[in-house]
Structure 1
């Protein structure tokens, strides 16, 4: 018998979600289910309206349909990423790997193909909230890794004292690597350690997020010195001596 996942203490605070979906029936059913489980839901039927809503209100998670009238979900996602790091879960009938990669490259934190289970959607929303509220790992103390400092309480990271602009997923991924500096982690290990990553997330999505992190960390992203690839094994955040060599 299936049971709805129970909220953890960090999720007891009210969760506010913006659902961007032009299918009126699906939006109504999804909103009703989430509201029955304590989520406050605002429904928007277009990308233009969604952008206006995010200018006026703050949300914990945005559920963004890919196929929207006018401005599509990818365009909306890219614009949202220029102004906010709110977790974005992309919802779409397109389930091919190329579509997932495109969604993640546009700034989405997670990707859920349609038709989806309402129960799974609720679990993913709560997972994103746990990460965004700084409960993704075992410690809330700052993590130091050479010139890099991460503060789980504020979800902020600095490199050489300069603030980095990271999404919640990028922060969680970088935190996992920073807590294990000098250690090689496979894609599978990274997916497992970044708490809240959904079963549908595939290992190549890690490559996309690593690519985006390198754009923000490295002087020359094509020749990374901090976030290194170990061929056939995975990724590693280099120690200071390794980064300088």
Structure 2
């Protein structure tokens, strides 16, 4: 099982090093960046489970970046910032961030918040870590989709949250309100767009026809429904 990947975007080397050390000690993988351009370039090949983003960056407005991450990447984003005003926190969450941590902070708090965020969306009743459906096997212990030939495609924690939600409720309507309640995050356009991105990526990984998906159906004005037959193991 691959450890969750946390990206750290902050222009202060001391903070990057402090967070990277604490997260590595806690069992996470990390990638650190001092500029938004470096971070965005890395996203072309890396799929982080959590993005820690400072708002005061030398080459980009942090709030704009958070909004783009939520809308285009469907990423789980935690803001780390010295901006303590309530309006900054509200704006960050409205733009799609999943949490907001104010500097100065204890690294242990950041680790705890990340662990809490990674636990969100997990079922109250343990259904297992492996689901079989329509020729696919979803391995939630290592975040991978396996096809009938054994070929594997990785998925992110954020995508896994949505996939698990569907697989635990096959052939039932999943409304946007239910998704927001279970997965958390600020309601509104940013949440809806983040869900659209994650579902679109899941469809691609499941080799769905985007014009006529067989498994994840959109019920316009109501939500989604997963049409597969699901069996849980492990």
Bin of the TM-score, shorter chain as denominator length: 0.5 to 0.7
The higher relative CO (CA closer than 8 Å, separation ≥ 6) is in 2
Match of 1:105 in 2: 72
Q: CA offset at residue 111 of structure 1? A: 4.7
Q: What secondary structure does 2:158 align onto? A: helix
Q: Deviations over 1:74-133 (max 9, x none)?
A: 22222223xxxx52314143335x8524455347333537444257744541135547xx
Asked if the contact 1:19–1:62 (Cα under 8 Å) also holds between the matched residues in 2, the reply is yes
2:122 matched to 1:136? Answer: yes
Q: TM-score, normalised by structure 2?
A: 0.63
Q: CA offset at residue 230 of structure 1? A: 0.5
Pick the aligned partner of 1:88 from 20, 31, 50: 50
Q: CA offset at residue 178 of structure 1? A: 1.0
Pick the aligned partner of 2:162 from 173, 181, 190: 173
Q: What secondary structure does 2:173 align onto? A: coil
What is the distance in 1 between the residues matched to 2:72 and 2:101?
24
Q: CA offset at residue 68 of structure 1? A: 0.4
2:149 matched to 1:149? Answer: no
Pick the aligned partner of 1:164 from 153, 172, 188: 153
What is the distance in 1 between the residues matched to 2:211 and 2:167?
21
Pick the aligned partner of 2:12 from 23, 30, 55: 23
Distance 1:141 1:125, change over 3 A: closer
Q: CA offset at residue 210 of structure 1? A: 0.8
Task: Report matched runs for 1:168-207 at 5 Å.
Answer: 168-194=157-183, 197-199=184-186, 202-207=191-196
Structure 2: unaligned runs, 5 residues or longer: 56-61, 84-99, 230-234
Pick the aligned partner of 2:101 from 106, 112, 117: 117
Asked if the contact 1:140–1:151 (Cα under 8 Å) also holds between the matched residues in 2, the reply is no
Match of 2:28 in 1: 60
What is the distance in 2 between the residues matched to 1:167 and 1:202?
17
What is the distance in 2 between the residues matched to 1:63 and 1:188?
33
2:210 matched to 1:238? Answer: no
2:196 matched to 1:226? Answer: no
Alpha-carbon RMSD across the aligned residues, in angstroms, is: 3.9
Q: Deviations over 1:173-192 (max 9, x none)?
A: 11110111111112231233
Match of 1:10 in 2: none
What is the distance in 1 between the residues matched to 2:179 and 2:32?
25
Asked if the contact 1:183–1:237 (Cα under 8 Å) also holds between the matched residues in 2, the reply is yes
